[in-house]
Each structure stands twice: as structure tokens, then as C-alpha cells.
A and B are shown apart, each in its own frame.
Chain A
Amino acid sequence: AAGVIQSPRHLIKEKRETATLKCYPIPRHDTVYWYQQGPGQDPQFLISFYEKMQSDKGSIPDRFSAQQFSDYHSELNMSSLELGDSALYFCASSWLTNEQFFGPGTRLTVL
């Protein structure tokens, strides 16, 4: 069965650079979620999109933005990167109110 696809899997950036993470949800899933997991921490919700509209927002920094496109894939844009942004970023998708399926994550390292 198709799973959530995230790219890239690993990303290394310098401070103050920008990064774009991509997420391709499971076909026919209508909701995409982004989570951030710092070293030794639990995943934290950032933002979600339902039918291409932002539906909910968590503790996402103003330096971050995200959108969902017409083909339902989503991108998380991160600017002015800081050392503290180093983390695993997970994308998840779901259909209606059903369970969320998570992707393998993108490991971002900011040097």
C-alpha cells in the first residue's frame, strides 16, 4: 500500500539559510499535518491543512510557512534557520477523522 512520502530524507543547512520540505500524502487523503521532533523530545504539532486550506496551527514559528497544493502535496518552508531548528520533521496524512499515517521524516541539521 502507498505510504506518505517525504523528501528529502536528510538535509543539512547553514544558519540563516532557507529550507523546503516536501510531503506527498497517501492518495485520497484530505488532511496533511506537520510535526517537529527535537532531539530527545516528543513530536510537536506545527500546522495542518484540510482540503488545501490551513485548518489548524500549533507552535509554528513565524519564520516557517506551509501550504498544500492542488495535487494535495504539501511543502514546509523554513527561513532564517537557527541551530534550534535541527530536528526530525514528520508529515502525516489522514482521511476525514480517521487515523493519521506518518511519513519517514526529514532530518534537518542546521550548522
Chain B
Amino acid sequence: DAKTTQPTSMDCAEGRAANLPCNHSTISGNEYVYWYRQIHSQGPQYIIHGLKNNETNEMASLIITEDRKSSTLILPHATLRDTAVYYCIVRVPSGGYNKLIFGAGTRLAVHP
């Protein structure tokens, strides 16, 4: 699985958009980009994933560059409850072999 690089920490004002970058310059053609987050001591929570195209769901948007070497997770209107560690994970989905390798994610602090 490709290695990812994320900022150690970020701040965001409540109500503003939070843009969390992820570098995955060694990503291969069949690897997807997944985003999970972990609110303090809770189980990690799936946010969104994508292969090439930009994706949007009720939680966030995922922007993947054309060369797929980096991506950005966007929380459009951050709230205090979005304070968490955000993990960018790159892997090939494969039945029974879908383990998640958590690297050092980004600790996002949303402040009033």
C-alpha cells in the first residue's frame, strides 16, 4: 500500500471550510484514497473514498488531483464536533484483505 503524508495538525474556525491535504505520490493505478477520522477514543469513522474523480457525500468532499499524487478532504462547514484525527489511507480494495493501515494523521482542532 502506498505511503501517505499529512500535516501533523491544523486549526479551523467553526463554520469555515476545513481543507485537509494528503500526499500520496507513490499511489498506483488501482489504489483508492480513503479518509477516516477518529474522535477522541471513539472507533474510527469512515468519511469518504475515491479513485480518480472528485467525490461528495453528506459529510465531506474529496478532491483528487489529476495525477492522483495528492488529495484534499474538505469539510464545508466545520463544527466543534469535527475536532478529530483525520487519516488518509491509500489501498486496493480486495475482499477479505481490506485491512486499514493507519499512519500519522492530521489532528484537526475546530475552535469557536
Chain A window 64-87, contacts with chain B (Cβ cutoff 8 Å), 1 for yes, 0 for no: 000000000000000000000000
Contact B102 A97 (CB under 8 A): no
Q: Complex: how many Å from CA A56 to CA B92?
A: 14
Quote the shortest CB–CB distance from B53 to chain A (angstroms): 17
Closest to B92 in A: A97
Q: What is the interface of chain B mostly: helix, strand, loop, or mixed?
A: loop
Measuring CB to CB, which residues of chain B are less than 8 angstroms from any residue of chain A? Answer: 34, 38, 41-46, 49, 85, 87, 93-105
Q: Offer 20 A-B interface pairs, CB within 8 angstroms, sorted by A.
A: A31-B95, A31-B98, A33-B100, A35-B100, A42-B102, A43-B38, A50-B95, A50-B96, A90-B43, A92-B100, A97-B94, A97-B98, A99-B46, A99-B49, A100-B44, A100-B98, A102-B43, A102-B44, A102-B45, A104-B43
